[in-house]
Structure 1
Amino acid sequence: MTSLWSNIVAVLPPVETQFLLEFSEKVESSVVDLLKRSRQHLYSDTSGVDCLLNAQIIMDYSWEKLNTGTWRDVDKEWRRVYSYGCLFKVSALCRQEPSAEVVEQAIRTCDMGLLMGAAIMDNILHVLVQTIQSEIRTFRKTTKEDDQNGHFHAKKLKLACTPVPVVDQTMAIPRIRCPSLEGFKSDYLLPSKPVILEGIIDHWPALRDHRWSLEYIRSVAGCRTVPVEVGSRYTDEEWSQTLLTVNEFIDRYILTKDGVKVSGYLAQHQLFDQVPELKDDICIPDYCCLGEGDDDDITINAWFGPNGTVSPLHHDPQQNFLAQVVGSKYIRLYSPEHTEMLYPHQSLMLHNTSQVEAESPDEEKFPEFVKAPYLECVLRPGDVLFIPARHWHYVRSLELSFSVSFWWS
């Protein structure tokens, strides 16, 4: 990876005087001095060890600030300091001729800055991680070719799946193929009626040219660090969150070995910002133009997880297009007019979530729930489910599943 450092230098300011470090008085002068020293190291022949040590001190100190009190109370200045520390660490790691392991550490450092820090220097961490990832892909391609020349073949593990439930046609969510904008607005959006739209994402590269698979996702995002939910559903006591690379997530929670699997779910809106290759494989549905805002007001979420992952019965405040790309899901929808029959939690944090296990309700404890009418479906690749705002929905993955949701108003 001898060309990596020259590629990194190309995206940095050409001279030290153009590398600006401006902070308010909220950042102690001693920290600013450390930042300036790291900047000087960047444009000198200082040893990589010294550069790395200085950068790590900056990251460790600002990390303490990020984890003091609630996240909303963290001053943006300290998030910027953390991002600069990440930038200096990445530069120190990639300065010589780094191994593949060191390059992966540099990518993880960029991701930590993108997740926990604030944008600096025209979002330079995003530019850096794309530069580094391009280099590591070239390295891996060469390694893969060498392996193939040596007749090396990796053994694939099996993926678990669940029998597809039989949907009662009297309660099936209606389907329609490529309705007009006006027809969708008058027949479904304005009256808040759920519907499955067919044919509207058939052109997505994720379903055609760059068909999403574990191998493809590993190739474009495997070494990226992302937040992961651990547990089959967020209402479970053992549910937690952690940071893992996508490869670690797949190995630990998607692939099964000897029938043993623990539950984990990659559910977040930053994945497509972190990995633009995946974002280029999807498109915002045209029907979102019926909303009040523009494309920047639409929240795009990734939902990637194994068979058996459950989203408990809950509702969201915005309109939702749930697009199924990989695998299938069983989904139930309840109208907001039946909210009282769904027994929402009384706590402020879970007020939008039902206390009931939708598919196995405790009829003694929740007698009205079984009387509540609902619609259901099995969502398959290429299907897009319109979930009107505040409609209650329960989702269970029937196999390895990757969905994309678009929240809009």
Structure 2
Amino acid sequence: MNIVSEIVKQSYPIDEISSVNAATFKKNYLSKKKPVLIKGMANQWGATKKWDFDFLSNLNDVKDVYLLSDNFIQDDNRYKSASFKEYILQLKNAEKNNTTVKDYLTTLDIFKFYPHLKEDIDFSLFEKHTKENVVNAWIGPPNTISGFHADTANNVYAQIKGRKMFIICSTAFNKTMYPSKKHIYGAVASNVDINNFDASKYPEFKNNKFISVVLEPGDVLYVPQNWWHYVQALDYSISISNFGYTKKELYTLILKERIMQSLHKRGYYKPNNCFCCEKQ
């Protein structure tokens, strides 16, 4: 049973501000692990002004990008390799002709391939408080889904094109988010699929307190470290996420995660019980 609309209906609105400086952002939100929507923060970014499928299709091609479909977190789907340009042209044609595309481009290290595009974004509000940042692009059609999961890093998420809906849940509800025991690098997945919900398996899930928000182009969302979130694209969309780590986390959190990932790849930690190997 799909309960997305039911969860949205019972959700609380997110705190929304129109502007904030780096010091206030840290004091009121980052330090308190409090989610916030910064409305229109990215409106003046070059990315928001320029990036669309026409713009991206004119970039040099990249052959080794990977696509997913459906719900990566709870569904059993597999990566597909693709050409960046061919995929963007597929999206462009689908949007123009109102046809269907299911695949989406996830966690693309876009500045590795196109370093000049760094000039088109500005995460300084966040990066003044971090030592290392991992910035990825998310590009795809409507109705793509990232099911409930909790990233181990703080995440500042900018919507560049189209709209996306987030449903967020606090760490206070960790137990009744029914965490998966599967290994996933840099995150914890929930066993709950709200698009195919089974109340008999997860009887307390609906009692959790949820926050929901729809991001429009130019909006920036802060999702605190370890907070659960579900993401669904409402339109053809382009998004940029920035996972930030403090100096302390470089030698604690990241080091630990890299060791566990290395052990996993060698078959010493949760072999064949993961969201990576079975989807290669």
TM-score, normalised by the number of residues in structure 1: 0.54
Match of 1:327 in 2: 162
Task: State the structure with bigger RCO (CA 8 A, min sep 6), 1 or 2.
Answer: 2
* 2:31 counterpart of 1:190: yes
Give matches, 1:214-225, under 5 Å: 214-221=53-60, 223-225=61-63
For 2:23 and 2:73, the matched residues in 1 are separated by 39
Q: Secondary structure at the match of 1:302?
A: strand
* 2:85 counterpart of 1:250: no
Q: In percent, how many aligned pairs have the same letter?
A: 28
Give matches, 1:199-238, under 5 Å: 199-208=40-49, 211-221=50-60, 223-235=61-73
> CA 1:280 to 1:220, structure 2 compared with 1: closer, same or farther past 3 Å?
farther
Task: Tell me which amino acid in the other structure corresponds to 1:387.
Answer: V
Task: Tell me which amino acid in the other structure corresponds to 2:193.
Answer: E
For 2:198 and 2:6, the matched residues in 1 are separated by 21
For 2:158 and 2:107, the matched residues in 1 are separated by 15
* 2:16 counterpart of 1:178: no
Match of 2:254 in 1: none
Match of 2:233 among 366, 385, 397: 397
> CA 1:169 to 1:403, structure 2 compared with 1: closer, same or farther past 3 Å?
same
> CA 1:239 to 1:336, structure 2 compared with 1: closer, same or farther past 3 Å?
same
**Does the CA-based 8 Å contact 2:47-2:160 persist in structure 1?**
yes
Task: Tell me which amino acid in the other structure corresponds to 1:250.
Answer: I
Structure 1: segments with no counterpart, 5+ residues: 1-163
For 2:92 and 2:74, the matched residues in 1 are separated by 19
Task: Tell me which amino acid in the other structure corresponds to 1:201.
Answer: A
Which is greater in Rg?
A: 1
> CA 1:304 to 1:226, structure 2 compared with 1: closer, same or farther past 3 Å?
farther
TM-score, normalised by the number of residues in structure 2: 0.77
For 1:203 and 1:356, the matched residues in 2 are separated by 38
Deviation at 1:165, TM superposition (A): 11
Match of 1:347 in 2: 182
For 2:198 and 2:180, the matched residues in 1 are separated by 15
> CA 1:254 to 1:216, structure 2 compared with 1: closer, same or farther past 3 Å?
closer
Deviation at 1:360, TM superposition (A): 5.0
**Does the CA-based 8 Å contact 2:158-2:240 persist in structure 1?**
yes
Deviation at 1:327, TM superposition (A): 0.3
RMSD: 2.6
For 1:355 and 1:234, the matched residues in 2 are separated by 12
**Does the CA-based 8 Å contact 2:11-2:210 persist in structure 1?**
no
Match of 1:276 among 92, 115, 130: 115
Give matches, 1:5-404, under 5 Å: 171-208=12-49, 211-221=50-60, 223-235=61-73, 239-252=77-90, 255-256=93-94, 261-291=100-130, 293=131, 297-349=132-184, 352-359=188-195, 361-404=197-240
Deviation at 1:184, TM superposition (A): 1.7
Deviation at 1:355, TM superposition (A): 1.2
For 1:299 and 1:245, the matched residues in 2 are separated by 22
Number of aligned positions between the proteins: 239
**Does the CA-based 8 Å contact 2:105-2:138 persist in structure 1?**
yes
For 2:214 and 2:120, the matched residues in 1 are separated by 23
**Does the CA-based 8 Å contact 1:314-1:352 persist in structure 2?**
yes
Deviation at 1:167, TM superposition (A): 6.0
For 1:405 and 1:286, the matched residues in 2 are separated by 14
**Does the CA-based 8 Å contact 2:176-2:204 persist in structure 1?**
yes
Match of 1:58 in 2: none
**Does the CA-based 8 Å contact 1:201-1:285 persist in structure 2?**
no
Deviation at 1:361, TM superposition (A): 2.5
> CA 1:279 to 1:320, structure 2 compared with 1: closer, same or farther past 3 Å?
same
- By percentage of residues, which structure has more helix? 1
Match of 1:137 in 2: none
Deviation at 1:224, TM superposition (A): 2.1
Structure 2: segments with no counterpart, 5+ residues: 246-280
Q: Secondary structure at the match of 1:280?
A: helix
**Does the CA-based 8 Å contact 1:310-1:395 persist in structure 2?**
yes
Deviation at 1:260, TM superposition (A): 5.0
For 2:22 and 2:114, the matched residues in 1 are separated by 30
For 1:236 and 1:170, the matched residues in 2 are separated by 22
Task: Tell me which amino acid in the other structure corresponds to 1:248.
Answer: E
Deviation at 1:349, TM superposition (A): 3.8
Which 10-residue stretch deviates more, 350-359 or 282-291? 350-359
